[in-house]
Structure 1
Amino acid sequence: MQQKISILGCGWLGSALATELIRSGYEVAGSTTSLEKMSDLSEAGIKPFLMNISSIDSTIQNFLSAEILIVAITSKNIEHFVDLIECLEASEVQKVLFISSTSVYPNTNEVVRESTNTLLTPLVEIEQLFTSNPSFHSTILRFGGLFGYDRKPGNFVRSKKRIPNPEGYINFIHRDDCIAIIGEIIKQNAWDEIFNACSDSHPKRRDFYRKEARKIGLDSIEFDEDSKNEFKIVNSEKLKAHLGYSFKYSDLME
């Protein structure tokens, strides 16, 4: 019997992830808040659910009829997640992978690891709702800035008048690496963990955005030379060691 996985949030990352999981032999259900997107999910082989955790209804138990739930939505509403977890407690789900962000770490102008103290933010509280619940196993995956395919960092430059913190360092990860890492967590049963996930290289914002601007035809960009140049360098060595993982897009300046 195929292992069942449900993905809450089939957006830019979730849809591509679902397609790859199906290719790997899993049966995948996926949620969207857009009625128009339901047919797209169905055509991709994803069992579609129209769902928003701000107004959970009875269909959620069918959606949660899976061994694994991957949470890939951007909501940071704590009460909505409390409601979701209540449903999880009564469901078949045994394992939860919560997609979080390295934004939970303060800008220390140093290297940050999973053991580094986090900020007091709603996202951190939501992480703790999952990790403290004994009804299921949870792994928290903290991604850096996502890029790849139609999500080009150069377009961020186009929308900004001046780029802040030019002497700071970036923490990015390609979507292909995101999907491969999630696949390894599932395959290796790497539950009850917290992992950072960012490419190995951390170029200066000035160098990286100049390179990316050239890719989209921008000859010149402006930097805020008066900004404080606050940054953090996110260390992903725990993930690499635990999963034996090597990044596909390791050098962001290539």
Structure 2
Amino acid sequence: MKIIIIGYGWLGQQLALPLLQDGHQLYVTRRSADVLTNLPTAISGLVLDLRQPDLAQDQQLLALFHDALVLCAIPPGRSEPDNAYQISLQSLYQLMVQAQSRAVIHFSSTGIYQGCTGEVDECSELLLHHPRVQLLNAGEQALKQFPQCITLRLAGLMGPGRHPGHSVAGKTLSDPNGAVNMVHAADILAAINALISDNTWSSAVYNLSCPELITREKFYLRAAESAQTEVTFIRDATQSRRVLAEKFSRRFGFRYRFSSAPDALIHCF
């Protein structure tokens, strides 16, 4: 299958080589050429700025995107110009429509549940007065117009070179008794393979998060010990959320390699 990864950042790099090794034809894109140097053999890199006009009229792009599975891994960012994220995804939608792409898997974030407390799932009401929620929701809506769009709301990312113990090193965290929501890159890859094997591409929204409950304090203390760093907690009354991710497991018979987030820590170096 022809697969195009839009946004060849950390997550794209975790996915590209295994997908290539499974026999797929891989293309990856970034906005600047320097990031695309030294790509693994047989992975083709393409400079693509989705904010440029008239991309859906570019015949070479249309040929590339035709019948392709598109993995949209563009991060929403925090310092982009106003609406840049939404504009980019709207442009991608138009390009895929014109090219008649096969399907798109959009990597969104469980950060879309910001402000929610307790257990949340794909049916939970979003609190759109939060700017971050507005941003993520606008991105999802831009791509959900595509007839074959699967949105994967990813919990906190971890994997090779992205160890949670390093990200919290020296910090004081709140909400020690709240639930931690994390997902390893290996399980994201496995979810993509499950979707490819299913090959129906029915539009839907799914959460991906390690399903076993563990508190933030227990997880981050173990993460800090694993990474040989230190983290402390304040005792506060913060009410956090636990992301439920059973919907994807039920639909595809999916089993997480790392059901418990601490089990993945050794695989984050």
Cα deviation digits, residues 127-183 of structure 1 (max 9, x gap) = 1222234xx3111011100101210000122153x1122221111011100111011
Cα deviation digits, residues 36-89 of structure 1 (max 9, x gap) = 232322x34211101222335546435423421110110362122222222222
User: Structure 1: which amino acid aligns with 2:176?
Assistant: P
Partners of 1:66 and 1:38 lie apart in 2 by 23
1:52 paired residue number = 49
Displacement, 1:35? 1.8
CA contact (8 A) 1:169 1:232 kept: yes
1:215 paired residue number = 226
1:35 paired residue number = 33
Q: 1:163 aligns with which of 150, 159, 173?
A: 173
How many residues are paired up? 246
Change (3 A) 1:36 1:79: closer
Q: How does 1:57-206 map to 2 (within 5 A)?
A: 57=55, 58=58, 60-75=61-76, 77-120=85-128, 121-133=134-146, 136-158=147-169, 160=171, 162-189=172-199, 190-206=201-217
1:231 and 2:240 are equivalent in the alignment? yes
CA contact (8 A) 1:154 1:216 kept: yes
| TM-score of the pair, normalised by structure 1 | 0.89
CA contact (8 A) 1:19 1:44 kept: no
Larger mean Cα displacement after TM superposition, 147-156 or 82-91: 82-91
User: Structure 2: which amino acid aligns with 1:188?
Assistant: D
Partners of 2:153 and 2:215 lie apart in 1 by 21
Change (3 A) 1:208 1:50: same
CA contact (8 A) 1:19 1:45 kept: no
Partners of 2:170 and 2:63 lie apart in 1 by 41
1:240 paired residue number = 249
CA contact (8 A) 1:199 1:252 kept: yes
Displacement, 1:206? 0.9
SS in 2 for 1:168: coil
Partners of 1:75 and 1:106 lie apart in 2 by 15
1:23 paired residue number = 21
CA contact (8 A) 2:116 2:127 kept: no
1:250 and 2:259 are equivalent in the alignment? yes
Displacement, 1:99? 0.6
Larger mean Cα displacement after TM superposition, 109-118 or 52-61: 52-61
Partners of 1:119 and 1:176 lie apart in 2 by 30
| TM-score of the pair, normalised by structure 2 | 0.84
SS in 2 for 1:22: helix
Partners of 1:131 and 1:8 lie apart in 2 by 16
Cα deviation digits, residues 180-237 of structure 1 (max 9, x gap) = 101111221243111111011231111111111111223x4321323x3221111111
Change (3 A) 1:138 1:146: same
Cα deviation digits, residues 15-45 of structure 1 (max 9, x gap) = 221211111111111112332232322x342
Displacement, 1:102? 0.7
SS in 1 for 2:231: coil
SS in 2 for 1:124: helix
1:13 paired residue number = 11
Change (3 A) 1:252 1:36: same
User: Structure 2: which amino acid aligns with 1:33?
Assistant: R
Instruction: Please report the RMSD computed on the Cα atoms of aligned residues, expressed in angstroms.
Output: 1.9
Partners of 2:42 and 2:108 lie apart in 1 by 26
CA contact (8 A) 1:6 1:66 kept: no
Structure 1, unpaired ranges of 5+: none
